[in-house]
Amino acid sequence: MTRIIREPALAADEVYDVVIVGGGIYGAMLLLIAAAHDLKTILIEKNDFGSGVSFNSLRIIHGGLRYLQSLDLRQSDTMIAERAWFLKNFPELIAHLPCLMPLYNRGLRRRSTMSFALWLDNLLSKRGNAALEGSRHIPPGRIISPGQVEQLFPLVNRAGLQGGGNLARCPCSRLPAPADGDVALVSLNGRGRLKLRGGAGSSDKQNRCGGGRWL
């Protein structure tokens, strides 16, 4: 079972197979993998979980649309597959978020460029959607008219407006964690010192965080 511990002393006397430092999306995924392999695991975060880079990226589980700018189809396909994995395994954490990009016929925000990008994205997304229940499918992106853009976003800059790209993204409400397995999540909140002793030796690393000491 997953335990969230705010007092490091409660976790310091146990022996762990895996110690993960950093409670962002990468730390959360490593925790899932370790728990799936029945490893006793502790994840340590100096602030709060998902509060750093994962928070600043809006916690979007994006499907790789940006990689189509450089026609990196392999990376885009990988992102689509990972998004489908999240939607299949953690549907309660993921929601569809409609996004609108006004188009002004310049640079990458040309109507023709976005039309091609959405067509290609919709094509690549079919395989990801095929593995999901209908209610979890990502709706296809589409080009809408300037009038429709104004209806959705009345404050849009109308000068040179050519339309808009209307698509769905997937924000993650919180980081995934294993439903069971012998794991512990420790949030030090910038204070306290955690010393872990294992069979192969001990870990007693110190660092500075807001005047406190932490591992």
Of 138, 153, 169, which closes a domain?
A: 169
Distance in angstroms (rounded) separating the CA atoms of residues 190 and 210: 6
DSSP label of 59: T
Same domain, 45 and 67: no
pLDDT in tens, 64-101: 888 988 889 999 999 888 888 888 888 888 888 888 99
Same domain, 20 and 84: no
Distance in angstroms (rounded) separating the CA atoms of residues 28 and 45: 11
pLDDT in tens, 95-109: 888 889 999 988 888
Same domain, 47 and 105: no
Integer angstrom CA distances of residue 9 from 12, 41, 189, 194, 196: 5, 16, 14, 7, 10
Same domain, 70 and 103: yes
Q: What SS3 class is residue 151?
A: helix
Q: So what's the pLDDT on residue 178? A: 66
DSSP label of 94: B
Same domain, 161 and 113: yes
- Show the domain range for 41: 2-55+175-214
Closest CA to 170 of 69, 28, 63, 23: 63
Q: Specify which residues 167 forms β-bridges with.
A: 99
What's the total number of domains in the chain? Answer: 2
Q: Are strands 2-5 and 183-187 parallel, antiparallel or unpaired?
A: parallel
pLDDT in tens, 10-38: 777 778 888 888 888 888 888 888 888 88
Work out the mean pLDDT of the chain and round it to a whole number: 77
Same domain, 163 and 187: no
Distance in angstroms (rounded) separating the CA atoms of residues 155 and 99: 15
Distance in angstroms (rounded) separating the CA atoms of residues 147 and 161: 9
Same domain, 110 and 154: yes
Q: Specify which residues 164 forms β-bridges with.
A: 102, 144
Predicted TM-score (pTM) of this structure: 0.68
Q: Average pLDDT of 146-166?
A: 94
Same domain, 180 and 125: no
Q: What SS3 class is residue 20?
A: strand
